[in-house]
Chain A
Amino acid sequence: MPEHILLRHRDVPDIDQLDVYRKHGGFDSLKAVVTGKTPQEVIDIVKAAGLRGRGGAGFPTGVKWGFLSPNVFPRYVVANADESEPGTYKDREIMERNPFQFLEGVAICCYAAQAETAYVYCRGEFWDLAHDLEQKIDEMHKAGLLGERIFGTKFNLSIYVHLGAGAYICGEETALLESLEGKLGQPRLRPPFPAAEGLYAKPTVVNNVETLTNLPPILAHGVDWYRSIGTEKSPGPKIFCLSGHVEKPGNYELPLGTTFRELIYEHGGGVAGGRALKAILPAGASAPLLPATDEVLDTPMDYESVPKVGSQLGSASVIVMDETVDIAWLSQKTTNFFKHESCGKCTPCREGTFWLNNILRRINQGRAKAEDIDLLEAVAKGMTGKCLCALGEFSVMPVLSGLDLFRSDFEDHIGDGR
């Protein structure tokens, strides 16, 4: 794409200044929506555009908005800025460098959802970012873009920034809502889903930062334009977070459907030092490993194609690993992460991640027996399908896929009858 749609600051450096943003069409979409469309019309446009959630689940955004319980008020919109998936740093760049497009997206979403209050839930480590975001919100209030009677209509809106306290699980939407309500950040039972009973048991839309940032361009340029980018089932631009053993790690805004090969070799400069590619984690730590085969490299990165080769696109945090990476070591890194981040509410995740971490530590320290590799697999499979939320379910994917694709990496650690 010649021009950035989401990372507009790469084309317009000072777009984080309100006047610059406005000069480049900023808040025109909001105005058009608020003065000329009904909330239902906005929902229909977003449905037609086929925008899918960019937080990892890829759920159709317009459909999610349509689940809001009718006739129940007030409604809330929550922007999920908890960005904690390993290898993910796209939302951070948006909020730091193109904040107004994100905030305009929040406002459009609020209008569609008929919400007068929105919260931006930032991960606890986003100290400075949250502070700066509050200043941007302040500027919007002063410019009449927030507050009462926006653009002279009956639409009122206030956006509040809320800091978490350092828990990955609070990126799970119901755990986020619990944390926002001042309680322990543990996921809720679903159903009910937030669209029916969310914040304070009221209908709530929880959307990812990147998802919301897509809204102003969709409303500005229309459904057909949006659908011309990406694939039929996965339209639109996506920010791919490329990291690991590449020459040029970073965020790359590309159409959905771009292949792994193009991302890694054309944009990312290829594997650092010219070494061989061994494996890819396409969705941070939360999806199975992909081997470095041609089939995989030529797979389009969209929500339909990646599952066909055995993984998920997720948040598109593409971590590249070269031949020097010991997958047993990698599994322990991811497992240790999940064990640290497990909320502890449900037995299989709380005990399972702890147990898996112990076994992997033993394996990596050379203190394990051959049976421990079978045990590792059994414990991981024992957790599958039993957890209360996705954290537990995803935590076993690097381990199981690692064993499946690179079992010898594990076996290499086993001593002789020790």
Chain B
Amino acid sequence: MSEALVTLTIDGIEVTVPKGTLIVDAAKQAGIDIPVFCYHPKLKPVGMCRMCLVEIGRPEWDRQKNAPVLDEAGNPVIQFGANLETACTTPVGDGWVVRVESGVAQAGHKQIIEYILTSHPLDCPICDKGGECPLQNLTMEHGPGRSRFLYDEKMHLAKHVPLGELIFLDRERCIQCGRCVRFQDEIVSQPVIGFTERGRALEIVTYSNPGFDSYFSGNTTDICPVGALTTADFRFGARPWELHSTASICSHCPVGCNVMLNTRREASSDGCEVIKRVMPRQNEWVNELWICDKGRFAHHFTHSPARVTKPMVRKRGKLVEASWDEALSQAAQALKASKNLVGIAGGRASNEDLYIFRSLIEKIGGRAVLDDSLAGGDVVQQVGMGSGSNLSQLGAGDAVLVVASDLHEEAPLWWLRLKQAGDRGAKLVVANGRPTTLDAHASHVLRYAYPQAAQTVLGLLHAFTKQKALASYVKDRDVQAAGRTLAEAENLVVFYGGEGLTYSDGEALALACGALLQATGRAGQANNGLIAVWPRHNTQGAWDMGLRPEAKGLAPILKKADALCIMAADPLGDHPGLVDALQDDTFLVIQELFLTQTAQRADVVLPAASIVEREGSYTSAERRVQRTYTTLPARGETLSDWRILMLLGGKMGYEFEAGSVAEIFTEIGSVVPAYAEVSYADLAKYEEQWPEVGDEDLYFGGTAFKNHQGLGVQLPPAAERGNASEIAWKAPEPRQPKDGLLLVPIVELYDRGATVVPSEVLHPRLVAAQLRIHPGDAERIGVVNGGRVELRVNGRVEEIDARVDRDVVEGTLLLPRSLDVVVPHAAYVKVKPLRKRE
């Protein structure tokens, strides 16, 4: 069915657009920029700032003849309204004549600018927005040269108001456009800021504690048309025109948000070029115009002084700096002599690194594994998202299932986009063992006792297949209702994580989800598919490169290993007790950014380049392959992981044909069928996107960056290519609850991981080192809020502070990951309060 179209003339240019298009957007398509402040293409129009005033002429209508009034020449008589009208709130009409550049309209723009500037402070010399400021630009374009307002009579308001620790507000600069408030209200549904007072005293306040408590607060500084909202990270940091821009991908989670890294070479950093800020890069398929605050602020790890920048070898029991030659030779010798080499890689490495890693380890005769505990990357390869998928398209009639994952903490941009899908009418079914932030937007909330995630999904599968074997999983009415909802949906996307699950629980879950998608009959189509909420940003890439985790964990293979080659992983740090599995004389060579626990045990430490100091390709969990560009020069003597591996291989006599990332990528394509149709050049392809951002456009869409560096390529799953195998679900092993409380490790966005802690600006928000306990359990055991407890887990004894929390499900304990106390999987534990020290 074709859309109704409307044709109108704007400043003499004829434009044809779908019915319902706003004049301000229609004008863009004619290449006309109607000035705006409060309007933003992703927000509902409000017509507040009155900047977009235009003359609108409508064809006169003869009511008696029910026909347009025509002049002598037979043309419709156009009647212009008595007043200017706002282009941002008015949808187009057939035959209309709109005048943007007429004297009357221009006088209107000039007057509005004069009004806005009356109490606006003359801060340009010290205001961060200078140089990328819509108010500056529109003043130059439309404003009067002088103001008639007496500056001494201006309104004075507070100028350095912290809205929490991350965002600062200058109330004098604010032009009350409401974009920030509306973003938080409409797009995020976390209205933690708002207007108070009225008239000229109207000002922004924050209602939350901590202030501006939202993971998306940084985006308001992009869409603020003046320098009222600035980030604590970047303010007074640099002038926009001093900054160099390089395209990259955020490395904090598997969404793969597109970013632009703004860098500057400066004296205060000893002449080094440093990242001054992370900005969103527009990719309407992945992150639209937004990034979360972790992606925006946690960039300091790349230039942390703790970075390993020179190779190190162990001499007389201590790690000392050495030359590349010495370090590589030592490592090569040990690896060549090994009889039982195990290679362990992590999901932070690029596809090229992982491919060369596996290639080298296998050449040597060793076994390459992925250090991870979530299964299912192979299932995703079968029934992942179909080509052309875009979460922005989900709406009424569609359904999304989120199971065993707290998206708000693990992948904020997906939380945001799914919440918006729900606003548009999509049904969200959220299943977890505890309440999570997406519950408030779900049409169905399913609560199960850990670890029965797979059982819940099998219950949902019953709604499709009605298999008798599944009947035992459908006793719950809520599951039945949710199953019906999913079965009625036109499209289904399934997100699964590993909260509270062992590896084999996760396997069962992934298979159940895969079977569910196949049961819809639409696996492989656009806006249908399976997405794993991986802990790392390139875990899917690792699976695609042929690496997978050890189902039984690393201990068994470490016991037998006589040499370990580790890249982008910290197994000894992530798995307490694993160090005991190692034999004393196991040789360990590691490529790392920091001296992690594993690195501290290593015999050879090879300094790796971070994501910003090299290029590479990364596969998001939606299976979109995206590339980064080299932003900063190498630190010290660091090298890209793949190059280190090639040098290591070279020392052992192994030659590699490829000599660059692009060449490796081509080779990957010859070995991994899914990558065969993508060339490295394809990753840099882009198309014009809507809405327009940046550039000549006077920041219509905000200061997010245009994306001319590549939108990435979605890999079609096997189901789309017609060669998916049938996914057989397997009955999950029933587990008897044991004595004690079930401790469930959970993810919090602002964790204390190595890539977050170097960002001091985030320190007030980092997750507290506390074990969370239900009030009933606390009372029973005698634990007080804030009191210290002893925790007996997996044969170890740990000490930690406790926090009594009503959101904890009785019988469970929640332990955020990345604290000093590490519990990799859900486990039954014993907790008792420690006596206070005298």
Residues of A within 8 A of B (CB): 167, 169, 184-185, 189, 339-348, 350-355, 358, 362, 375, 378-379, 382, 385-388
Contact B49 A382 (CB under 8 A): no
A234 to B526, CA, bound (A): 63
The answer to whether A344 touches B200, judged by C-beta atoms less than 8 angstroms apart, is yes
In the assembled complex, the Cα of A340 lies from the Cα of B198 at a distance in Å of 8
- Contact B200–A350 (Cβ < 8 Å): yes
When the two chains form their complex, are residues A350 and B112 in contact, meaning their CB atoms are under 8 A apart?
no
Q: Would you give the shortest CB distance from B636 to chain A, in whole angstroms?
A: 54
| A351 and B111 in contact, given A385-B84, A386-B50, A388-B48 (Cβ under 8 angstroms) | no
A379 to B112: give the CA distance in the assembly, Å.
11
B153 at the interface (CB under 8 A from A): yes
Partner of A386 from the list B112, B116, B149, B176 (CB cut-off 8 Å) is: B112
Is B108 in contact with A169, judged by CB distance below 8 angstroms? no
For B153, what are the chain A residues with a Cβ–Cβ distance below 8 Å? 355, 358
Known: A167-B198, A348-B111, A386-B50. 16 other contacts (CB 8 A): A185-B198, A344-B195, A344-B201, A346-B49, A346-B50, A347-B175, A350-B199, A350-B200, A351-B118, A352-B115, A353-B199, A354-B119, A354-B199, A358-B150, A385-B84, A388-B47
Which residues between 136 and 177 of chain B lie within 8 Å of chain A, taking CB atoms? 148-150, 153, 155, 175-176
Contact B49 A343 (CB under 8 A): no
| Residue B46 interfacial (CB < 8 Å) | yes
Cβ of B83 and Cβ of A343 under 8 Å apart? no
Q: Is the interface of A mostly helix, strand, loop or mixed?
A: helix
Rounded to whole Å, the gap between the CB of B4 and the closest CB of chain A is 19
Q: How far is it, in angstroms, between the C-alpha of A169 and the C-alpha of B119 when the chains are bound?
A: 23
A66 to B200, CA, bound (A): 38
Q: Is the CB of B199 within 8 A of A347?
A: no
| Chain A CB within 8 A of B51 CB | yes
* Complex CA–CA separation, A169 to B49 (angstroms): 18
* Structural contact, B115 and A351, CB atoms closer than 8 A: yes
Contacts of B46 in A (CB 8 A): 189, 345
Can you sample 24 A-B contacts with CB below 8 Å? A169-B198, A185-B198, A339-B199, A339-B200, A342-B198, A342-B199, A343-B202, A344-B195, A344-B201, A345-B202, A346-B47, A346-B48, A347-B112, A348-B50, A348-B111, A354-B119, A354-B200, A355-B115, A355-B118, A379-B148, A382-B115, A385-B82, A385-B84, A386-B84
Q: Are A386 and B199 in contact (CB under 8 A)?
A: no
Distance from B681 Cβ to chain A, minimum over Cβ atoms (Å): 47
Q: A355-B118, A386-B83 are in contact. Are A347 and B51 (CB under 8 A)?
A: yes
Q: Is there an interface contact between B202 and A350, defined as CB atoms closer than 8 Å? A: yes
Which residues in A have their C-beta under 8 angstroms from that of B50? Answer: 346-348, 386-388
- The CA-CA distance from A358 to B89 in the complex, in Å, is 32
- Alpha-carbon distance A355/B112, docked complex (angstroms): 13
- Residues of B48-62 whose CB lies within 8 A of A: 48-51, 53
Return chain A residues, CB-CB under 8 Å to B155.
354
Q: A342 to chain B: which residues have CB within 8 Å?
A: 198-200
Contacts of B195 in A (CB 8 A): 184, 344
A387–B114 Cα gap in the complex (Å)?
A: 15
Contact of B111 among A167, A341, A358, A382 (CB under 8 A): A382
Q: Interface on B for A, CB 8 Å cutoff?
A: 45-51, 53, 82-84, 89, 108, 111-112, 114-116, 118-119, 148-150, 153, 155, 175-176, 178, 194-195, 197-202
Distance (Å) between the CB of B175 and the closest chain A CB? 8
- Chain A residues whose CB sits within 8 angstroms of the CB of B176 once the complex forms: 344-345, 347, 350
CB nearest to A378 among chain B residues:
B148
Give the residue name and chain of the A residue nearest to B108 (CB): A386
Complex CA–CA separation, A362 to B202 (angstroms):
24
Contacts between chains A and B (CB distance < 8 A), count: 96
> Which residues of B have CB within 8 Å of A350?
115, 176, 199-200, 202
Contact of B47 among A189, A354, A378 (CB under 8 A): A189
**A123 to B: closest C-beta gap in Å:** 15
By a CB distance below 8 angstroms, the chain A residues around B108 are: 386
Q: Are A348 and B115 in contact (CB under 8 A)?
A: yes
Q: Top 10 closest A-B pairs, CB basis? A: A344-B202, A385-B83, A351-B115, A342-B199, A354-B200, A358-B153, A382-B111, A344-B199, A344-B198, A347-B50
Q: How far is the CA of A347 from the CA of B175 in the complex (A)?
A: 8
**In the assembled complex, how far is the CB of residue A50 from the closest CB belonging to chain B, in whole angstroms?**
22
Q: Within the assembled complex, what's the spacing in Å between the Cα atoms of A347 and B35? A: 14
> CA A355 – CA B149 in complex, angstroms?
7
**Distance A387 CA – B200 CA, assembled complex (angstroms):** 15
Within 8 Å CB of A382, what residues of B? 111, 114-115
- Chain B residues in 8 Å Cβ range of A375: 148
Min C-beta distance of B83 to chain A, whole Å: 4
With a CB–CB cut-off of 8 A, which chain B residues contact A353?
Answer: 199-200
Q: How far is B197's CA from A179's CA once the two chains are assembled, in angstroms?
A: 14
- How far apart are the CA atoms of A386 and B178 in the complex, in Å? 18
Cβ-closest chain B residue relative to A381: B111
How many Å lie between the Cα of A352 and that of B48 in the bound state? 14
Bound together, the chains give a CA A169 to CA B82 distance in angstroms of: 24
B85 to chain A, nearest CB (A): 10
| Cα separation A346 to B199 with both chains bound (whole Å) | 9
Q: Is the CB of B48 within 8 A of A345?
A: yes
A385 to B81 Cα, complex, angstroms: 10
Distance (Å) between the CB of B155 and the closest chain A CB? Answer: 7
Tell whether, in the assembled complex, residue B48 and residue A343 are in contact, meaning their CB atoms are under 8 Å apart.
no
Are B112 and A348 in contact, CB atoms less than 8 angstroms apart?
Answer: yes
Among B49, B149, B194, B198, point to the contact of A347 (Cβ < 8 A). Answer: B49
Chain A residues whose C-beta falls within 8 Å of the C-beta of B111 in the assembled complex: 348, 382, 386
Contact check, A341 vs B148: say whether CB atoms are below 8 A apart: no
Q: Which residue of B lies closest to A353 (CB)?
A: B199
* Least distance between A338 CB and chain B CB atoms (Å): 9
* List of B residues within 8 angstroms of A340 by Cβ: 199
In the complex, chain B residues whose CB is within 8 Å of the CB of A355:
115, 118, 149, 153
A71 to chain B, nearest CB (A): 21
Which residues of B lie under 8 Å from residue A169 when comparing CB positions? 198
Chain B CB within 10 A, most for which of A189, A340, A345, A379:
A345
- From B45, B150, B178, residue with most partner A Cβ within 10 Å: B150
- The answer to whether A343 touches B115, judged by C-beta atoms less than 8 angstroms apart, is no
- Decide if A351 touches B48 in the complex (CB within 8 Å): no
Give, as a whole number of angstroms, the nearest-CB distance from A332 to chain B.
14
CB closest chain-B residue, reference A392: B50
Name the distance in Å between A418's Cβ and chain B's nearest Cβ: 14
- A343 nearest CB neighbor, chain B only: B198
Cβ 8 A contact of B116, one of A167, A351, A358, A378 = A351
How far is B111's CA from A378's CA once the two chains are assembled, in angstroms?
10
A347 contacts B116, C-beta separation under 8 Å:
yes
Q: Which residues from A are CB-within-8-Å of B200?
A: 339, 342, 344, 350-351, 353-354
Distance in angstroms from B395 CB to nearest chain A CB is: 19
Bound form: Cα–Cα A378–B110 in Å: 13
Chain B min CB distance to A190 (Å): 10
With A and B bound together, what is the CA distance between A185 and B195 in angstroms? 11
CB distance from B450 to the nearest CB of A (A): 39
Residues A184 and B194 in contact, CB atoms below 8 Å apart: yes
Q: For residue A285, give the distance in angstroms from its CB to the closest CB of chain B.
A: 15
User: Given the complex of chains A and B, what is the CA–CA distance between A345 and B202 in angstroms?
Assistant: 8
Minimum distance in angstroms from A342 CB to a CB of chain B: 4
Asked if A341 and B89 make an inter-chain contact with CB atoms under 8 angstroms apart, the answer reads: no
Known contacts A378-B148, A386-B50; is-contact A354 B198 (Cβ 8 Å): no
How far apart sit A354 and B50, CA to CA, in the bound complex (Å)? 17
Residue on B nearest A183 in the bound complex, by CB = B194
* Chain B positions within 8 Å of A358 at CB level: 150, 153
| Central interface residue in B46, B48, B50, B150, by most chain A CB within 10 Å | B50
Q: Please measure, in the bound complex, the distance between the C-alpha atom of A382 and the C-alpha atom of B114, giving whole angstroms.
A: 10
Shortest beta-carbon distance from A49 to chain B in Å? 26
Give the residues in chain B near A341, CB-CB below 8 Å. 198-199
When distances are taken between beta carbons in the complex, the residues of chain A under 8 Å from B112 are: 347-348, 386
CA–CA, A306 and B202, complex, Å: 36
The distance from the CB of A175 to the nearest CB of chain B, in whole angstroms, is 10
- Complex CA–CA separation, A348 to B200 (angstroms): 11
A89 to chain B, nearest CB (A): 23
Docked complex Cα distance between A188 and B155 (Å)? 26
